[in-house]
Amino acid sequence: MRSLEELGKQSILWLIPKCMTNPEDNLSTALKRQARQEGFEPVGIARLPGSPRLQLRTQALQRWLAGKNHADMGWMAAPRRQDASQLLEGAQSLLAVGLNYYVSEQSKPGHLKIARYGWGRDYHRIVEQRLRRIGRWLAEQRPEGRWRVCVDSAPLLDKAWAEEAGLGWIGKHSNLIHDRRGSWMVLGHLLTTERLNPDQPARSLCGQCSACIDACPTDAIREPFVVDAKRCLAYHTIENRNPNLPNSIQSALGAWVAGCDICQDICPWNHRNVPVSNDPDLQPRPWLLNLTREQALTWDDDTWNEKLRGSALRRIKPWMWRRNAAATATKQPPNL
């Protein structure tokens, strides 16, 4: 028969929250709190090597590569992209974060169009700097542990791992969608050797909707979840290093000179009062909303380099801006 003292201790344990009795839960909760304090939302955790669905996403990447849908983006075939554990020895978990870049401003009618993700500061730097602060905090809690920051320039299946961590699901346009925040977010990950408590993977809610497929002017979304880069306006305006754009791209370009938001603009999940970001780092540079064809064609390299200082759009070289701007005239009136 147990003593009164033993029964008293048992009663006290029932009053202690479960997260306080499980170190994994406690650290995981605190880590996600740190991420939210850095301005990230949504946030979630996944455990390596991932669920069976993560393995299906890896197989889908293999089929996508086999179909030559990556055009000349050879880095997409890096073997490490298919095995996150190769990016950090001993990695057991990852923190996935989203950063909302949707702002209240709109591009001006009659001007050239630029994808929203590039309106503010370079998101690679923003996400990396904030995740590094979280990593340093984690190191204070677990000095023996190790961590690594990954943004989309790292060989990681970032959207698949974000889906695995419960941030949202990969839509038919290949962007990650959150049921209350839409798809206007960039992603980041913090790999760690710590064993964290994982969240449930997100469930797909695209259903029978085909709005993004139907809206693409070049039929780049060949089938649900399969985007052919060789047909994609974003690929050609940002990655294509040829002196001239293909005729099929020029005829469909409209006013887009840097990326393309058509498939996101049309997505019903982006028409549900998505939150607006007031983050100073993500507010647009005015010239990006007022860029004319004449400016894009006549600015010299020094002007472009100055305008693009600290921008993710520096990936588009000055001569490419001029090439893209010239191509917008194919089926556009002189004033766009």
The residue among 177 and 76 whose pLDDT is bigger is: 177
Tens digits of per-residue pLDDT, 9-66? Answer: 444 444 444 444 576 789 999 999 999 999 999 999 999 999 999 999 999 999 998 9
Annotated catalytic residue: which of 72, 83, 152, 279? 152
Q: What ranges do the domains of the chain cover?
A: 22-103+121-192, 211-275+283-327
Cα angle 190, 52, 29 (rounded to 5 degrees) comes to 35
Q: What token pair was written down for 77? A: 């075939």
pLDDT band at 329 (very low <50, low <70, confident <90, very high): confident
Question: pLDDT tens for residues 255-267?
Answer: 999 999 999 999 9
Which two three-digit tokens encode residue 327?
């191509």
Q: Do 232 and 63 contact (CB within 8 A), yes or no?
A: no
Question: Residue 205 has which token pair?
Answer: 């809610």
> Half-sphere exposure (CA, 13 Å, Cβ side) for 258?
29
Helix or strand or coil: residue 252?
A: helix
How many Cβ atoms sit within 10 Å of the Cβ of residue 191? 25
Confidence (pLDDT) at 69? 87
Kind of pairing between the strands at 256-258 and 93-100: unpaired
Q: Give the confidence band of 1 by pLDDT, cuts at 50, 70, 90.
A: very low
Specify the pLDDT at position 80. 84
Calpha distance 253→203 (Å, rounded): 34
CB 315 within 8 A of CB 238: yes
- Give yes or no for residue 193 having a pLDDT over 50: yes
The verdict on whether 122 is a catalytic residue reads no
Contact 61, 70 (CB under 8 A): no
